[in-house]
Amino acid sequence: MSSKLKSDIEQFVQLYPMFSLMKSDNENLELKGLVDIVDTFGNYWDNYEIKIVVPFHKYPNIIPLVYESSNKIDREDDWHISTDGECCLDITHNLILLQKKGIDLISFYQKKVYPFFANHQYKLRTGNYANGDYPHQFEGIKYFYKKEIGLCDDELIIKILSSILKNRLPQKLGTCICGKNKYKHCHLAIVIKLISFGKKRLSEDLMLFKNLNVKN
């Protein structure tokens, strides 16, 4: 275990005394505890038993897995949780960017974990998520490409992903992948951003978009 991870765990447990380090093996450590949900007026809403599984070999460039073990959340896609209780804290691509940047446990808990459970309580009371919902599975990926990348044409997405994966990218002053303008002033910035996700993720995305086109 790195000195940074050890320090982060100590600070986390000190700040959140309802959590404790339960076990550790050669690959992961596991924190278990209670998440108390309180509204902006200080009113107590509910709590959740959770565990946070932290892979430590590449820490801080990792994304912990979070499981809800109190079974207060229905195991349905609409609640962003799997049948075994693993919580979908964000769209995969956003988590990849966070992983590359690096995390600390306290910030990850405050920005991803606590809001997930607070949102569950909010939706139970209002019927909606506080900041709106995001689509599930492949629809979530399409949503990310449209909102965060700026691409909504499925055929163009396939062309760009294929060019990246085959290392067939134009010269900066050459014609862009879309065939319209100079690459430098067109989709170059988007390509640079996509490359940051890594070929494994981009290959999976390409397969999904190709399958969508076949179905259509």
Task: Per residue of the chain (216 residues), give pLDDT as tens.
Answer: 788 999 999 999 999 999 999 877 788 999 999 999 999 899 999 999 999 999 988 899 999 999 999 999 999 888 999 999 999 998 888 899 899 999 999 999 999 999 999 999 999 999 988 877 777 778 888 989 999 999 999 999 999 999 999 999 999 999 999 999 999 999 999 999 999 999 999 999 999 999 876 555
Are 116 and 174 found together in one domain?
no
Phi, psi for 88 (deg, rounded to 5): -90, 100
Helix axes 92-101, 199-215, angle to 10 degrees: 170
Are 19 and 104 found together in one domain?
yes
Number of domains into which the chain is organized: 2
Q: Is 155 inside any structural domain?
A: yes
> What is the pTM (predicted TM-score) of this model?
0.83
Range of the domain at 206: 137-215
Q: Is 106 inside any structural domain?
A: yes
Cα atoms in the 13 Å half-sphere on the side-chain side of 2:
12
Tell me if residue 16 falls in helix, strand or coil.
coil
Are 111 and 31 found together in one domain?
yes
Are 162 and 112 found together in one domain?
no
The last residue of one of the domains, among 82, 100, 126, is 126
Are 47 and 87 found together in one domain?
yes
DSSP 8-state symbol, 81 = B
CA distances from 137 to 15, 93, 172 (A): 34, 12, 34
The last residue of one of the domains, among 126, 161, 185, is 126
What CATH number does residue 95 fall under? Answer: 3.10.110.10
Q: Is 131 inside any structural domain?
A: no
